[in-house]
Amino acid sequence: MSKRYQISEEQIHELERLRKRNKDKNVEKRIKALLLHASGKSREQIAEQTGYAKTYISELVSRYCKQGLSAVDGGNYKGNHRNLSFAEEEALLEPFRKAAEAGQIVEVSEIKKAYDTAIGRSTDRDHGRIYRILARHGWRKVMPRSTHPNKASEEACNASKKLTLSYKSRWNNLTQEMSD
């Protein structure tokens, strides 16, 4: 026969305190399963109410009894799954920033090579990684405004603007022609 873990009154109060400060719905669901177990519900009844598999409920109760709140608290996944910290990325970009401030053209391929050597592997499969790093550090792509190669000069454009009639004067001319 399997060992049935008992949850004490003190542990129930501990779970209730965690429930009050919790904001994660997955942690809430795990707490609910543990409290149902503490109230004497069977694995089948708990599985029906929470949607968990019976084996997971047994594993959850076992982990909680052995490890405490750390088994429930959902601290499994944290943010920042990057290879380098923000400060390390900043240090990597510093020579490129100085070159850009000096007026040199900085290419993303050079930054990518430096990043790949810093982390010790290639990032060819993640095409947007370098651009996300650059955006995170406030870099942006600065380009001159595009112009057509056969575009007329500014003087010719301004001269043609002076020769054309305004919309209002054209409208007045059309209405006078129609009335005549």
What is the C-alpha R_g of the chain? Answer: 34
Q: Which of 100-114, 122-136, 155-169 has the lowest mean pLDDT?
A: 155-169
What pLDDT band is residue 96 in, cutting at 50, 70 and 90? very high
Q: Does residue 66 sit within a domain?
A: yes
pLDDT for 1: 37
d(C-alpha 39, C-alpha 37), whole Å: 5
64 and 115 belong to one structural domain: no
Q: Does residue 32 sit within a domain?
A: yes
Q: Does residue 166 sit within a domain?
A: no
Q: What tokens does 135 get?
A: 């955006």
How many domains, in total, are found in the chain?
2
98 and 127 belong to one structural domain: yes
- Could you report the per-residue pLDDT of 45-66, keeping only the tens digit for each? 999 999 999 999 999 999 888 8
pLDDT for 112: 94
Q: Which of 67, 60, 62 is nearest to 31 (CA)?
A: 60
Q: pTM, whole model, 2 decimals?
A: 0.44
3-state secondary structure the chain: CCCCCCCCHHHHHHHHHHHHHCCCHHHHHHHHHHHHHHCCCCHHHHHHHHCCCHHHHHHHHHHHHHHHHHHCCCCCCCCCCCCCCHHHHHHHHHHHHHHHHCCCCCCHHHHHHHHHHHHCCCCCCCCCHHHHHHHHCCCCCCCCCCCCCCCCCHHHHHHHHHHCCCHHHHHHHHHHHHHC
pLDDT for 32: 92
67 and 94 belong to one structural domain: no
pLDDT at 180 over 80: no
Q: Does residue 179 sit within a domain?
A: no
CB-based contacts of 57, cutoff 8 Å, min separation 6: 33, 37, 43, 46, 47, 50
Q: Does residue 81 sit within a domain?
A: no
Domain limits for position 105: 86-136
